[in-house]
Amino acid sequence: MAYQVVNPATGKLESEYPTATDAEISDVLERADQGYRSWRRTPLEERAGILRQVAQLYRDRADELAAIITREMGKITKAALGELKFASNIYRYYAENGAELLRDQPLDSRLPGSAWVRKSPIGALLGIMPWNYPYYQVARFAAPNLMIGNTIVLKHAPQCPESALAMQQIFRDAGLPEDAYVNVFASNEQVARMIADPRIAGVSVTGSERAGSAVAAAAGQHLKKVVLELGGSDPFIVLDGADLPAVAKTAAAARMENGGQACNASKRMIVAEGVYDDFMAEFTAAMSGYVTGDPTDPATGYGPLSSEQAAQNLMAQLEDAVRKGATVHLGGHRLDGPGAFVEPTVLSGVTPDMRAFGEELFGPAAVVYKVAGADEAVELANSSAFGLGGSVFSSDQQVALDVADRLDVGMVWINSAQLGGPELPFGGTKRSGVGRELGPLGIDEFVNKKLMHTPPEG
C-alpha cells in the first residue's frame, strides 16, 4: 500500500511516504498503550485546554491545511476552509462540553446507599479514516475520545499522508503528549494485526462497506468494540410544489456537496408525480450551473473526483445505467484533458437491474424517481440497503414528519438538507453502519460505563 499524493486535478504524483515497518507498528502500539496509562489520569480541565488549543491551531493554519487537501483529494479551496472551520468547532465543542457530558449519572435504586454510573476510558483506539473529509472525519473520532482519556492510533487514507502528518503536528504543538495521538502509515495486513493486538481496545472506521465489513469481522473475532460510519444513498423526498425552484436548488446543493463525494449527500431524488416534471426541469437547471475546473480557482463550483480510479468507478456505474435504458437529462461524460473530472449528471428511469439503483454513486451524479405519493416514496426510500440520512420536503410539516418517522435512516431533515453541527449526533443504520459520532452520543461510544455503589453513611 503506497502512501502518496497524486493530485487529482493534474494526475501528477507530488509526494510519497514509506509504509511503516512491522517494528514501527509494534512500537506505536506500545507507545499508545503506555500513553493511555498516564493520559487517562490527566485532569479533565487539562484535556479540555489542549483541545481548545487544537481548535485554535486549526483556525490559525487554515490556509496551509486547506491547500494540502486540495492537492490530496481535489477539494475546492472554499470547501476545504469550511471543513477546517467545522473541525475546529468539533474540538471546541468537546473542550467546552466534555466534562458535563462525562459527569456521573446518579441512579435511583432500592439498595441502601448511593449508586451511579461513571464513564471511564477504555484504552488505546485505532481510527481508520477516509479521504473525502480528511480533517473533519478525524476530529469526529479524536476529539471526544481524547476528552474521555483514551489514546489514538490514527491510520489515514493512503492518499492523505500530508494532512495526516499535519494533524499529528497540531496535536504536538497544542501540548498533547506524543503518545496520546500517533499517526501510522500502515498496510491492510498491519491493520488486521493491530486490531488483533490486545493493546487496542476498540476500532472506529469511516469508509466503504467493504472496509467496514472487514474491520467489523476482525474486531468481532477479538471482541473489540467498533463504530462504523459507512456508505449512504440518502433519499431527498419532494411531496408537493411549495417553492419548487428553491427546493430544487437545495437538492442540487445537497447532491454536489464535496463534488458529490459525501456519504450523507442526497443521492436519490424521490418526487411525487404531481410536481415531478417541474422539479426535474428546475433540478437539471440547478445542476447544470455547477462548473468544475481548477480547485484553487474561486470560480470553480466543484473539483475533480478524488482519483482516477474514482472517476472510472463512477463512469462504469453511469454507463451501466444508460446501457440498460436509463435516460440522461444532463451530463454523463468525463471532461477532456488531465485530471479526474466528471460532468454534473442527472439520470431518470433507473431500475433495480442497474448498478445505479442499489449502489452508492460517489460523485456529481443524481438519480431522480417519480412516485405516486408519500407511501410509494417511503417504500422506495427504504428499499435501499443503506440507511444513513434523508430529507423530506412538504408544505404540510405534519405530513413530512410522518414520512420522516417511517424512514429507516439514522438522520432526517425536514424541509432542509444536510444541516449539521458538533452537537448533533451523526450515524446511520442498516449497511450505513453502527454507532454514532458527534454530540452527546459521540462521546458515549468508547467508554466503560461503570456502576459504582457505596453503602449508607454511618
Per-residue pLDDT of the chain (458 residues; tens, 9 = 90+): 789 999 999 999 999 999 999 999 999 999 999 999 999 999 999 999 999 999 999 999 999 999 999 999 999 999 999 999 999 999 999 999 999 999 999 999 999 999 999 999 999 999 999 999 999 999 999 999 999 999 999 999 999 999 999 999 999 999 999 999 999 999 999 999 999 999 999 999 999 998 999 999 999 999 999 999 999 999 999 999 879 999 999 999 999 999 999 999 999 999 999 999 999 999 999 999 999 999 999 999 999 999 999 999 999 999 999 999 999 999 999 998 899 999 999 999 999 999 999 999 999 999 999 999 999 999 999 999 999 999 999 999 999 999 999 999 999 999 999 889 999 999 999 999 999 999 999 999 999 999 999 999 86
Domain ranges of the chain: 3-230+432-454, 234-420
SS3 341: coil
| b/e map 187-222, b = 16+ CB within 10 Å | beebbbbbbebebbbbbbbbbebebbebbbebbeee
Do the Cβ atoms of 122 and 76 come closer than 8 Å? Answer: no
Question: DSSP assignment of 200-261, as one string?
Answer: EEEEEEES-HHHHHHHHHHHHHTT-EEEEE----EEEEE-S-TTHHHHHHHHHHHHHGGGG-
Q: Residue 174 is inside which H or E element, if any?
A: helix 161-174
Do the Cβ atoms of 162 and 242 come closer than 8 Å? Answer: no
Q: For residue 352, how many other CB atoms are within 10 A of its CB?
A: 7
Q: Which of 83, 162, 229, 359 is catalytic?
A: 229
Q: Any bridge partners for residue 118, and if so which?
A: 450
* d(C-alpha 13, C-alpha 74), whole Å: 13
Residue 457 has a pLDDT of 86
Q: Return the CATH number of 234-420, one of 3.40.640.10, 3.40.50.410, 3.40.50.970, 3.40.309.10.
A: 3.40.309.10
Q: Any bridge partners for residue 128, and if so which?
A: 155, 205
Has domain 3-230+432-454 been given CATH number 3.10.580.10? no
SS3 420: coil
Residue 241 has a pLDDT of 84
Integer-rounded Cα Rg, in Å, for the chain is: 23
Residue 370 has a pLDDT of 98
Question: DSSP assignment of 182-204, as one string?
Answer: EE----HHHHHHHHHSTTEEEEE
Q: Which grid coordinates belong to 370?
A: 417519480
Q: Is the dihedral of CA 190, 191, 195, 199 positive or negative?
A: positive
Do the Cβ atoms of 390 and 404 come closer than 8 Å? Answer: yes
**Annotation marks residue 229 as catalytic:** yes
Q: What is the pTM of this model?
A: 0.97
Residue 421 has a pLDDT of 96
SS3 3: strand
* d(C-alpha 242, C-alpha 257), whole Å: 23
* d(C-alpha 382, C-alpha 299), whole Å: 38
Give tens-digit pLDDT for 210-233: 899 999 999 999 999 999 999 999
**Annotation marks residue 16 as catalytic:** no
Q: What is the DSSP letter of 359?
A: S
Q: Which of 263, 359, 360, 445 is catalytic?
A: 263
